[in-house]
Amino acid sequence: MMNVANTYKMLQEGQKAGEIDPKSDDPSDPTVMIRGFGSMLLSQLKQDVEQKLGYQIAGKGGLTQILPHKLQAIKDADEAMETRVWKRKITMFKKGK
C-alpha cells in the first residue's frame, strides 16, 4: 500500500500515478491502472474520490493516504484522453455503435 512519503516522492519526481489501459472496452470511460493500487474505470475512480472528499467535508473521517495518488491518477488519465490518438479511439468507438 502507498504511504504518504512514497506518494509525495512519486508526485515530486513526476511519475505517472495512473495510466489508461489501451485495451479498454469503452474508450470514453477507460480502465485506469493505478500504480500501487489496482485498476478501475475512470468514472468509478472519480466517484470514489468525490465520496472520500465528501466524507472529509462532512467531518466523517480523514482523508486516506491513497487519495493524493488517486487524484494524480485522474489527472494523468484525463491528460492521456486529450491526446489525438485517444480522441480517435473514442470517435471510432462511437461510430461503431
Looking at residue 79, what is its pLDDT?
92
74, 18 in Cβ contact below 8 A?
Answer: yes
CA distances from 81 to 3, 15, 26, 37 (A): 28, 17, 12, 21
Question: Strands across the sheet with 31-34, in order?
Answer: 18-20, 31-34, 38-41
Query: Could you read off the pLDDT of 22-44 as tens digits, one per residue?
Result: 888 888 999 998 877 889 999 99
Split into its structural domains, the chain has a count of 1
Pairwise pLDDT comparison (90 vs 68), residue with the higher score: 90
- Which residue segment(s) compose the domain that 41 sits in? 4-96
Looking at residue 49, what is its pLDDT?
86
